[in-house]
Structures are given as C-alpha cells and as structure tokens.
Amino acid sequence: MTSETPTSTPKSTPETSNKPEPAFGWTPYAEQINGRFAMIGFVALLLLEFFTRQDFFTWLGM
C-alpha cells in the first residue's frame, strides 16, 4: 500500500482568479452589470407601483 500525500490547491491570486474584469464592449462583465441594473430597475418599478397604487403608464400620464 502506498501512502499518498494530499496535494494542496494553490491559493487564488489575481492572475488565476476567475473574476471578470471591466472591459469595453459585449463582455460577460458588462452583461452581469447590465443584468444587475435591470433587476434593480424592476424592483424599483414594483415599489413605485406598490406605494403609489398606480400602474407605470398611469404614473407617466399615458
């Protein structure tokens, strides 16, 4: 029977991490940020309709 020593995983460094980096154009980072802003906008719209008791188009005067 052989004894194997467990290998340790390398610590995450900025060069090896999977963090998206800001860049210009259609990048995964841009899509992630756009999605987050869209979720914030949707929740804001729901809160606006809840507190004013009017739908969005009535609130806009349409």
Task: Find all residues with CB under 8 Å of 45, minimum gap 6, and list them.
Answer: 56
Hey, is 24 helix, strand or coil? Answer: coil
Residue 53 above 70 pLDDT? yes
- pTM of this structure: 0.57
Kindly state the DSSP code that residue 53 receives in the 8-state scheme: S
- On the question of pLDDT at 12 being above 60, the answer is no
Query: Would you state the pLDDT for residue 61?
Result: 83
pLDDT digits (tens, 9 = 90+) for 16-36: 566 767 777 888 888 999 999
